[in-house]
Structure 1
Amino acid sequence: MSVRARGLRVAVWQCGSLPGDIAGNLARLATAAERVDADVLVTPEMFLTGYDVGAVPGLDPAGPEFAAVAEVTRRTGVAIAYGYPEALPGGGIANAAQLVDGGTSVGRYRKAHLFGDLDATRFAPGSDFPVFELRGRTVGMLICFDVEHPEAVRALATAGAEVVLVPTANMAEYPTVSTALVPAHAREAGVAIAYANYSGTEGALDYAGLSTIVGPDGSALVLAAADGEALLAAEV
């Protein structure tokens, strides 16, 4: 009798923002990781500081904030992909995501497709689409507007990614990103996509919610409501 290989159990955390409260957001992240049954948990975009919060400090990707996340992954056994503003070696800041497992950084990604002035006036764009090994699977990361570009998803799939983890801060005006574009691009590239969004309001933005995990055939495995916090998981 053949035994089906175990997939990767992925969770998306849809939550409100605590603008500028890094300590408070780290505490919330620890609680979410303790609650979830998953291999990896994906937060929204710029989770540590909030997204529409004006100028933000660049954080050292190996600094105390990373150390706090790393300790959560050691203690809970849940890997975490979190969004944060990364201080660049030559100056400037990137809108970034970092994947951490067992107390170690698995890899980092910098948002390549900057969305309007809110991104372009604050961040330097990334240019690469790296993939990483996570618990026997190959994964990639994108951030928000990136996943709306099919060539970015295809680049990760071509590099071997089976799952794409996407911290996002998608606005209420664009609900079809969750319900149409993410499923279409997953199906086109043959990869699963985990898309974790904010809900509620932050600064001038109203967020769309609708966090989702989509299989490589484009089917929605989970889909959150437009409003309210949700912690959803599925095997992909």
Structure 2
Amino acid sequence: MPSLRIALHQAPAGVPRSVEDSLAALDETARTAAARGAGLLVTPELSLTGYALGEDVAERAEPADGPSARALSRIAAAHGIAVVYGYPERDPGSGQLYNSAALVAADGAPLAGYRKTHLYGGWESRHFTPGERLVVQAELAGVRAGLLVCYDVEFPEAVRAHALAGTELLIVPTALMRPYDIVAQTLLPARAWESQLYVAYANRAGCEGEFDFAGLSALAAPDGSVPVRAGRHEALLIADVDTGLLRASRERNGYLTDRRPELYTV
């Protein structure tokens, strides 16, 4: 059965960097992750700019095929590793801004783009438009991968929609803050267990502006285990997504097959 080695970069917080500095740091992280055998690198929410953008969101936003996307394609191809990154997206047609995540293949080809559907708090709601497409997927080394961003994973309906659509690895760039450790420590493994998929959760650590990020990045598995988890500081976690384990877990666990959707009318 296909297996995919992934790297989760728990990035250090700080003053939001220039995109150029972020790309240089990401290039080095991709180099290290690829050298450790990873086929996919996952970075945090808004990893290209930092989260604490204040009122500068519009000035830092780019279209999905903008210069940063082209730079990421070059980085992925140079190191032979797929990359998930977060950035503020500007729609060229409407001018609306989105909190977005993109997946680039190991050959540099764009695979998927997702706009965060559940916006968290007043700052995000003031600056971003919620996305309208919940399930975005791509095939990655024989694994069906899907994308959500941070707060999205805290809604069981969002994760279940992915499971029912066949997602095997749910990738979640995040900016989880203290004191909400329960999301990473309790809710994340529960989501993986109840919807029978892997959840890859990449956070940042430390303080940035008014935000104190929780760290605790992790890969949660469908059998209820957490193969890797970071602490409170910068880390590069390496773990395997095993579709054989996923299939065996789904055969033992009847959550998806025993559902009675005709009763779920609320």
Does TM, normalized by the shorter one, top 0.5?
Answer: yes
Structure 1 or 2, whichever has the larger Rg, is 2
Aligned-pair CA distance for 1:176: 1.1
Q: Using the alignment, how far apart are the partners of 1:109 and 1:173 within structure 2?
A: 27
Deviations 1:34-92 (A, max 9, x none): 00131111100001111122122221111110111101111111100000001113111
2:111 to 86, 103, 106: 106
Normalised by the length of structure 1, the TM-score is: 0.95
**Which residue identity does 1:95 align to in structure 2?**
N
Matches within 5 A, 1:86-235: 86-88=89-91, 89-101=93-105, 102-128=107-133, 129-226=135-232, 228-235=233-240
Q: Using the alignment, how far apart are the partners of 1:230 and 1:75 within structure 2?
A: 22
Report what 1:62 is aligned to.
65
Deviations 1:161-203 (A, max 9, x none): 0000110000011111111001001101000000000101111
Please say if residues 89 and 98 of structure 2, whose CA atoms lie closer than 8 Å, have aligned partners that are also in contact: yes
- Runs of 4 or more, structure 1, over 6 Å off, are none
Report what 2:27 is aligned to.
30
Deviations 1:102-152 (A, max 9, x none): 111001000001001121011000121221111211110000000111111
Q: Using the alignment, how far apart are the partners of 1:160 and 1:195 within structure 2?
A: 19
Q: What percentage of aligned pairs have identical amino acids?
A: 44
Report what 2:248 is aligned to.
none
Q: Using the alignment, how far apart are the partners of 2:52 and 2:224 within structure 1?
A: 30
**Greater share of residues in helix:** 2
Aligned-pair CA distance for 1:28: 0.5
Please say if residues 144 and 169 of structure 1, whose CA atoms lie closer than 8 Å, have aligned partners that are also in contact: yes
Q: Using the alignment, how far apart are the partners of 1:200 and 1:206 within structure 2?
A: 6
- The answer to which of 35-44 and 12-21 deviates more is 12-21
Unaligned runs of 5+ in 2: 242-266
Deviations 1:4-58 (A, max 9, x none): x231111110012350411000000000010013111110000111112212222
Report what 1:49 is aligned to.
49
Q: Using the alignment, how far apart are the partners of 2:223 and 2:64 within structure 1?
A: 34
Q: Using the alignment, how far apart are the partners of 1:20 and 1:76 within structure 2?
A: 23
Q: Using the alignment, how far apart are the partners of 1:60 and 1:20 within structure 2?
A: 19
Normalised by the length of structure 2, the TM-score is: 0.85
CA RMSD after TM alignment? 1.0
Please say if residues 96 and 108 of structure 1, whose CA atoms lie closer than 8 Å, have aligned partners that are also in contact: yes
Q: Using the alignment, how far apart are the partners of 1:20 and 1:179 within structure 2?
A: 29
Aligned-pair CA distance for 1:218: 2.4
SS at match of 1:27: helix
1:79 to 79, 82, 85: 82
Please say if residues 2 and 143 of structure 2, whose CA atoms lie closer than 8 Å, have aligned partners that are also in contact: no
Q: Using the alignment, how far apart are the partners of 1:90 and 1:63 within structure 2?
A: 16
Please say if residues 11 and 194 of structure 1, whose CA atoms lie closer than 8 Å, have aligned partners that are also in contact: no
